[in-house]
Structure 1
Amino acid sequence: MKNPLWFIVWLIVLIIIAFPVAAFCAGWYILVYALTVCIPGLSGLSDLLLQGAQFAHYCAQAMMDCRSLC
């Protein structure tokens, strides 16, 4: 049985943490990803920024599943 309290916790995390992190990472991801063609060493950074940009999706999915934090 799913606990609706986790829905509220994930909603707060989504609004307060995930949206600003995703917005910051998405902007930098666009710039860094274009430079990975010239500088292949930036691919690790671009992968990290992509994960940050997808953090809002992860939180929204956890919110809909009422998944616990641990």
Structure 2
Amino acid sequence: MGNIIFSLIWLIILICVSFWVANIAAAFYIVILPFTVCIEGLTALTDFLLSVIQFPRYCTESMMAGKGFG
């Protein structure tokens, strides 16, 4: 078990930030993804948006491990 203070901070980040950011990124991802077939340059953008969509998972893993920010 990691540090309980860091776990609480990660929980706050998870609830207050990561869900909102992931939802906004998901909306852009859904709109842009079909255009990657025609425009190859958008692939890097959709890869980045996919990593942003997975931010809540990262927060949850860090919360469960009690990891710090370093």
Fold conserved between structures, TM > 0.5: yes
Q: Any gaps of 5 or more consecutive residues in structure 1?
A: none
Q: In structure 2, the residue corresponding to 1:39 is in which secondary structure?
A: coil
Task: Find runs of 4+ consecutive structure 1 residues off by over 6 angstroms.
Answer: none
Q: In structure 2, the residue corresponding to 1:36 is in which secondary structure?
A: helix
For the aligned residue pairs, the C-alpha RMSD in angstroms reads: 1.0
Q: Which amino acid aligns with 1:15?
A: I
Alignment correspondent of 2:29: 29
Alignment correspondent of 1:47: 47
Matches within 5 A, 1:58-69: 58-69=58-69
Q: Give me the TM-score of the superposition, normalised by structure 1.
A: 0.92
By how many angstroms is 1:40 displaced? 0.8
**% identity of equivalent residues:** 41
Q: For residues 14 and 43 of structure 1, what CA distance do their matches in structure 2 show? A: 27
Q: Give me the TM-score of the superposition, normalised by structure 2.
A: 0.92
